[in-house]
Amino acid sequence: MKEMMIRYALNTGFALAILVAGYFAIRYGSMLLHKALSKAEQGRYALVVRFVTSVAEKVAWAFVIVMALEKLGVDVGPIIAGLGVTGFILGFAFQESLGSLASGLMIAINQPFKVGDFVSVSGNEGTITALDMMAVTLATPDNRKITIPNKAAWGQPIINYSALDKRRVEIIVGIAYGSDIALAKSTALATIKSIPGVLEAPAPMCEVKSLDDSSVTLVVRAWAKTPDFWKVYFAGVQSVKEAFDKTGVEIPFRQMDINIRQMPVQAV
């Protein structure tokens, strides 16, 4: 009995030592891994680094706990087998969450957007305020918070309005069929060029887009830096309207001509 107690005490001490040593080893190894991955990718894949580091920590803790249990004389074979069955059941039960986790990994690797970008994700537009392995959080222009699971975000087209340094501003305006097209084009072009924020290159342009039922439709295109897009757009719409009013270029109302003819009455 005395020998058993001594052996049990020694095994318990060894198990505690394994746990303590494992704690410091995992903490130090996690720090080194995080530092190495962050340095290797120069901070581009911070989300992937956190995910890989977290998974490595959990796997390491699983080995440490198994080693400690073996020192205590616990048969870990059934435990490992039970974990396998439990993992299968949990995987089936949380397949949606696992799908979002896998999609989060794809987002982290491909980086279609980052925190601070204005995007359209899964039919929702807003600025990304938070991004993790499970979900994307948006703040809409009218100050609503939208949380989108990564599975839904990655499974739909993603539009990133902030990814490139400049955007094209496009203004559609219709003029009456009786208006001078050349005058309208030159007026619109001179007006859009005078708006602050419009870039010289690519050069602004104005052309006839289509001949519609009630108007000749012009398209005015100019380029602006991405942060200036809406400022240039709103100023352009108002300025073109005011310039057309001054030069006498008519912007017609939508209309339809109906001709009524009286049919002759036939005698019975």
In Å, how far are 23, 45, 137 from 113, measured between CA atoms? 36, 12, 12
- Asked if residues 157 and 226 have their Cβ atoms less than 8 Å apart, the reply is no
Report residue 6's pLDDT band, with 50, 70 and 90 as the boundaries: low
pTM (2 d.p.): 0.61
Structural domain ending residue among the three candidates 123, 143, 160: 160
As a whole number of angstroms, the distance between CA 244 and CA 183 comes to: 9
Tell me, yes or no, whether 8 and 70 share the same domain. Answer: yes
Report residue 18's pLDDT band, with 50, 70 and 90 as the boundaries: confident
In a domain, 103, yes or no: no
Q: What residues make up the domain containing 189?
A: 166-247
Report residue 153's pLDDT band, with 50, 70 and 90 as the boundaries: confident
As a whole number of angstroms, the distance between CA 17 and CA 36 comes to: 28
Q: Which residue has the higher pLDDT, 163 or 98?
A: 163
- Asked if residues 114 and 127 have their Cβ atoms less than 8 Å apart, the reply is no
Tell me, yes or no, whether 171 and 216 share the same domain. Answer: yes
In a domain, 149, yes or no: yes
- Decide if pLDDT at 152 tops 50: yes
- Decide if pLDDT at 232 tops 80: yes
Element (H, E) at 216: strand 216-225
Cβ contacts of residue 172 below 8 Å, gap of 6+?
A: 209, 217, 218, 219, 220
Report residue 17's pLDDT band, with 50, 70 and 90 as the boundaries: confident
Q: How many domains does the chain have?
A: 3
- Decide if pLDDT at 8 tops 60: yes
In a domain, 84, yes or no: yes
Q: What is the pLDDT of residue 176?
A: 92
As a whole number of angstroms, the distance between CA 266 and CA 32 comes to: 101
What mean pLDDT comes out for the span 240-258? 84
In a domain, 38, yes or no: yes
Q: Which residue has the higher pLDDT, 170 or 253?
A: 170
In a domain, 45, yes or no: yes
- Decide if pLDDT at 71 tops 80: no
Report residue 93's pLDDT band, with 50, 70 and 90 as the boundaries: very low
Tell me, yes or no, whether 87 and 10 share the same domain. Answer: yes
CATH classification at residue 124: 2.30.30.60
- Decide if pLDDT at 64 tops 80: no
Tell me, yes or no, whether 156 and 171 share the same domain. Answer: no
Q: How far is CA 190 from the centre of its chain?
A: 37
Q: What is the mean pLDDT of the chain?
A: 80
